[in-house]
Structure 1
C-alpha cells in the first residue's frame, strides 16, 4: 500500500523558501532603490512603462496597476507586442521598468537600442546583477533569491514573489513621497466601496423637489400621514411658508400618537411634531450622514441649505447607494 503524499509538508517548504527569499530582499533596498524612486518622482510628464515576458509579465501587469492606482501614472506593454508596433506607445519622457529574473530576456533586450534612442530612462529589475539587462539599464533593482520554491528549481516561484514585493515597495515608497491620500485613492476607485465612502455626498442620493415629504404646521395629522405614505420615506418634514424646517413627524411618532388616542382627523400636525429635528447639509459625505443617523438612532434625515429644506433620504437610500 502506497504512503499518502504529505501535501502540508510540501506547502510548508514553499512558504519557508519564499520567506527566506523575501528576508534577503531587504538588502536591495539600497541607493539604487533611492535612485529609482527619485527618477520616477522627478518625472512630471512621462509615465512608467512596465515590461516583462512570461511570469515576469504577469507580475509586471500587477505592478503597473498598483503604481497607477497609487499616484504614479503607469501601464504595461508586452515586449513581444512592442516589437510589432506597440513601441509607439512609449514617449521620450517615459521611464521603462523592464523585468526579467535572468536579465537576459531577448524580447526586452532587443528593444533597448530603440529605447536608448528615445532617451527613455530604463530601470531593470532582475535577479542577476551581472546580466545584460542589469548592465545596460540606467538603474538596476536586484531581486535575487537563494532558491526557487519549485523542487526542481524551474518554475518561477520565489523569484516572482520577490519581484512582486519589490514592485509593491517601489509603489508604496512613491505613494508616501507624493503625499498620496485616501481621498486621492478614491478618485481612481470611484466604483469601489472606498470611493463611495470618500466621494459620494448626500446631495448625490437625496430625494428632491416633489419627492420630498413636507406639510405645513396647520395641516391635519391625517394629511401628514397621506404625505408620508405617498413619499415613502417613513416621515415628513413640517415647514413654514419659506420652507424653513419647523419639525418632523415619523412612523415612530405615529405609533406613539396612537397610544395616546389622539384624533388624527381634527388635530394639526404642529401640535404633535418633534420640534428642532436634526438635519444635515447636502454637501456632507454620505458616510458622515450615515454616522449621524446611527449615532441618533434615526432612519431618515432632512437636508437643509441656507435654512431651507432642499432634500431628504432614509437608510434604504444609503443602502441602495452602497454606503452601508
Structure 2
C-alpha cells in the first residue's frame, strides 16, 4: 500500500490505456458466443439459435474456406521470409557505407514508406500497375516488348505484387533492429581482423553476419505468431473478385462473409479459429526464441 500511495500518479497515467484495452479488446470478447450460434441481429445473442460447432464444421467443409486458409499461409510465409532476408541484407550493405550524410539520407528514404497507409499506397499501385497506361506496363512494353501484365487481376501476379509491395514498404523499417545490433559490435574486432589482413568481405562474413544471427533468430521465430496475418489493409485495398481464388485471405474472407453477406456466426467462427491458432503459434515462437537466442520478455 505504501508503494501504491507513493506511485499513484504513474498508475493514473496508465489508466486511459487500461480503459481503452478493456473497452475495445476485452468487452468485445463476449461476441465470441456468436461463433456457436446461428446469429441473427434482430434476435441478438440472447435470442439466436445455438448450433454448437456447426459453424466450425462448415468452415472445413466449404471449399472456399480451405482455399482462403491456404492463400493466407502462402502469402504470410512469403512475407515473413522475405521481410527477414531483405532487411538483413540491406543492413549489411548500409553498414558498409562510410559517408555519414549519404547513409542517413538512404535510411530516411527507405523508412518513409512504412509511415504511409495502404489506402494511399493502394491508390498509387492501382495507377502505376494499370494495364491502361500504367507506368510499369509502359516500361515493359517500350523497353522489353512485353505484353501488358495484369498485376492486380491475375491471381499469381497478384500474390507477387502483394509480397513485393509489402517488402518495399517495410524493409527499411525492419532493418532498424539489425542496424541496432550492428551498433553494438565491438569496433576492435574489425581492427584486429584488418591487422590480420582480412578484407572487407571477410570481415563482413566472419564478424558482421555472425553478430546479426542471434537477432535474426529472434525476429524470425517471433514472426511465426503472425503466420495467419497476411495483411488485411493491403489485401483489402488491392484485391478484387478476379483474384479471390489466389488472393483472398482469412481477414478479408471474414469481412465479406460476416459484414457483407450477414453470416456473422460463420464469420466469428473463422475469426476465432484464426485467433486460437495465432495464440498457439505465438506461445511456440516465444519458446523457440528463448531456446535458440535466450530471448525472453519476463
Shorter-chain TM-score: what band?
under 0.3
Q: Which has the higher strand share?
A: 1
Q: Which has the higher contact order (CA 8 A, sep 6+)?
A: 2
Q: TM-score, normalised by structure 2?
A: 0.26
Q: Which has the higher helix share?
A: 2
Is the radius of gyration larger for structure 1 or structure 2? 1
